[in-house]
A = this chain, B = another copy of it.
Amino acid sequence: MDTAFSASLDAGLSGATRVYHIVGDPIAQVKSPAGVTAAMRARGSDAIVIPAHVAPADLATYFAGATATRNVDGVIVTVPHKFAATEFCKSLTDEAAFLGAANMLKRNADGSWHGGTSDGVGMVAALRAAGCRPEGKRASLIGAGGAGSAIGFSLVEAGVASLAIRDFDAARTGALASRLAGLGHGAVTVSDDTDPQSYDIVVNASPAGMRPGDPLPLDVSTLAPTTFVGDVVTKPPLTPFIEAARARGCQTVTGTQMFERVCEAIVEFLLED
């Protein structure tokens, strides 16, 4: 474990420590208990994030128990429970309601759960940290799955003038474009990989780049040095797409940089009143 986390625990673990769970199946692979705990403690909170390994069939029983445990202030939700988690929320953020998914739950005043999502706000926060101002910009999104839907929502909410979405699954691409257009914030269209247009913002939310030999998610010759380029892929830490974008002079956001902001968004959501 990193020493920052160890040092942060000098603040204590006791009966008064507030508890947050991260629930998933499997759970042993997640790294966030140490990182999110350290981030919460850096903000002065006597809190800890602990793993909860719960099978889908047991999720309702688990949530009943977590709800009855008065010092559990929040639950981070990971695969495969992000969609089912909404069933246990009395209220949802606009983004979580749009996506039909929640990856972070905190208490309402009556003890019930309020659900939110962090992937989209995390990517937009990382783009802003790289110097990008999404307002009025032309954006392109590759991938219309869970991460892509979240990032598309957050880009539209952030005020992009237009969003072009591309995915191998035409049905879900069209559905997402239609629903995002329905939010009434900007033009949302379906594009294809012959799209010659240059964008101000390009985000890969597809798995392309995870395996050696994957084709690049788009033709990098369309990238201008002023284009901001983001990628959700974290393994490898530096994808061929990000490398190619940097070679063209673009400012970039790696998957790791995005997930640092996702972690911050989770901490912000869970600790704010």
Contacts and interface: CB of A to CB of B under 8 A. Distances in A.
Interface of A: 1, 3, 5-7, 9-17, 19, 22, 24, 26-34, 37, 48, 50-55, 58, 61-72
Contacts of A13: 1, 5, 33-34, 37, 48, 50
A17 B50 contact: yes
A244 B51 CA distance: 49
Contacts of A34: 12-14
B53 A62 contact: no
A27 B53 contact: no
A15 B51 contact: yes
A6 B19 CA distance: 18
B65 A68 contact: yes
26 contacts: A1-B9, A1-B11, A3-B10, A5-B9, A6-B6, A13-B48, A14-B30, A14-B34, A15-B32, A15-B33, A16-B28, A17-B33, A17-B50, A17-B51, A19-B50, A19-B52, A27-B71, A28-B71, A48-B50, A52-B71, A53-B71, A54-B68, A55-B70, A58-B68, A62-B69, A65-B68
Contacts of A63: 65
9 nearest A-B pairs in the assembled complex, by CB-CB distance = A65-B65, A15-B30, A58-B68, A53-B71, A53-B70, A16-B28, A61-B68, A1-B12, A15-B51
Which of A3, A9, A37, A66 has the largest count of B CB atoms less than 10 A from its CB? A9
Contact of A10 (B6, B37, B53, B71): B6
Contacts of A53: 69-71
